[in-house]
Amino acid sequence: AQTVTQSQPEMSVQEAETVTLSCTYDTSESDYYLFWYKQPPSRQMILVIRQEAYKQQNATENRFSVNFQKAAKSFSLKISDSQLGDAAMYFCAYTGTVDSNYQLIWGAGTKLIIKP
Amino acid sequence: DAGVTQSPTHLIKTRGQQVTLRCSPKSGHDTVSWYQQALGQGPQFIFQYYEEEERQRGNFPDRFSGHQFPNYSSELNVNALLLGDSALYLCASSILPTVTGELFFGEGSRLTVL
């Protein structure tokens, strides 16, 4: 069965600094997708960034980028120039094209605190 | 453009009761997925509805059931409530069942079982 692990329950960073959130996963599938979602206090999950496993190039969305290491099954999120609005729970999620089709498998989340 | 809307936002029930949660998908979306998020945890997939049928189901007992209507809206029903059913229930919509994870989420329904 596929699993997603986030080993950092909480991280804090000074405003305008850079922070990296860690995620590892386990799967036997070769074709899959990885995501980072943000959940602010409003509770609504918002997609931050997506990575397709067959693409070697790391995904980037403005201040957000990932370090995707397929062999190590690692998928970290880097947030540059942190802003107060980045404070939220961040969840790493996985979906495969075979065994976990149609459903997202989630990590336990990392709470990100931004210090002004 | 209305996003995913869920109702009610909060509700309190007692053990053994039944509850119905509702979800209207984002305009143009035809697929609805339901997730349970216990406090301090990541979401767990309950099931997905497409073309008014349950297409995929997670590891949840039969007490959890659902329905999708012709207008694509959906309901989640939970019977014989247990204390452990207390959680945030998230609805997500998409265009077709998708493996790409392009889901749009509602703000959830917070269920407390006493």
* Mean pLDDT within B9-25: 97
To which residue do tokens 């976990």 refer? A100
Q: What's the whole-number average pLDDT of chain A?
A: 93
A106/B44 Cβ within 8 A? yes
pLDDT tens for each residue of A48-104 = 999 999 988 999 999 999 999 999 999 999 999 999 999 999 999 999 877 666 689
* Mean pLDDT within B73-86: 98
Q: Is the pLDDT of residue B42 over 90?
A: yes
Nearest CA in chain B to A109: B42
Phi, psi (deg, nearest 5) at residue B103: -100, 145
Contact status of B92 with chain A (Cβ, < 8 Å): yes
Q: What are B70's two structure tokens?
A: 């012709």
- Residue A108 distance to chain B (closest CA, Å): 4
Whole-number pLDDT of residue A42: 81
Rounded to a whole number of angstroms, the distance between the first and last alpha carbons of chain B is 37
A108/B40 Cβ within 8 A? yes
Q: Specify the higher pLDDT residue, A47 or A102.
A: A47
Sequence-distant (≥ 6) Cβ neighbours of residue A65 within 8 angstroms: A49, A58, A59, A77, A78, A80
Nearest CA in chain B to A97: B99
Model confidence band, residue A41 (pLDDT cutoffs 50, 70, 90): confident
* Mean pLDDT within B9-20: 97
Model confidence band, residue B101 (pLDDT cutoffs 50, 70, 90): low
Model confidence band, residue B1 (pLDDT cutoffs 50, 70, 90): low
Which residues of A fall within a CB distance of 8 Å from B21? none
Whole-number pLDDT of residue A65: 96
* Mean pLDDT within B31-38: 96
CA distance A90 to A21: 8
Other Cβ atoms within 10 Å of B61 Cβ, number: 10
Share above pLDDT 70 across residues of chain B, in percent, rounded to a whole number: 96
What is the amino acid identity at position B58? Answer: G
To which residue do tokens 């997670």 refer? B58
Nearest CA in chain A to B4: A44
Whole-number pLDDT of residue B64: 98
Prior bond of B25 cis (ω within 30°): no
Q: Is the pLDDT of residue B13 over 90?
A: yes
Q: Is beta strand B87-94 parallel, antiparallel or unpaired with respect to B104-105?
A: antiparallel
Model confidence band, residue A13 (pLDDT cutoffs 50, 70, 90): very high
Whole-number pLDDT of residue B25: 96
To which residue do tokens 């452990």 refer? B84
- Residue B49 distance to chain A (closest CA, Å): 10
CA–chain centroid gap for B11, Å, is: 14
